[in-house]
Amino acid sequence: MDDADITQERLEREQMLRNRVEQRPLLYGPEECDQCGDEMPAIRRQHGFRLCVECQTLRERNQKLRRAE
C-alpha cells in the first residue's frame, strides 16, 4: 500500500464518520405528536415542533378562525 492508498482510506473513513453524524441529528421535539400521538418526522423534531404536520395545520386553521370571529 502506498501513500495515495492511505490518504484515500483516511478520506473514506472521515466521510463515513461525517455521514454517521448527519444521520443522527439533534432532535429537540418529542417522538410523538402532542395532539394525536403519531410518530413525529425527524425533520420536524429537529426544528423543535411538538405537533405533526396535520395537527399543526389544523391548529393554525383554528387560530385563524378564532381570530376572524
The residue assigned the cell 400521538 is 37
CB 54 to Zn ion: min, Å: 5
Q: Which is nearer to Zn ion, 13 or 47 (CB)?
A: 47
Of 19, 59, 25, 18, nearest to 45 by C-alpha is 25
- What is the nearest approach in angstroms of Zn ion to the Cβ of residue 53? 8
Instruction: Write out the residues near Zn ion by the rule CB under 5 A.
Output: 33, 35-36, 38, 52, 55
Amino acid letter for position 22: E
Report in angstroms how near the CB of residue 10 gets to Zn ion at its nearest: 45
| Residue that the C-alpha cell 396535520 belongs to | 54
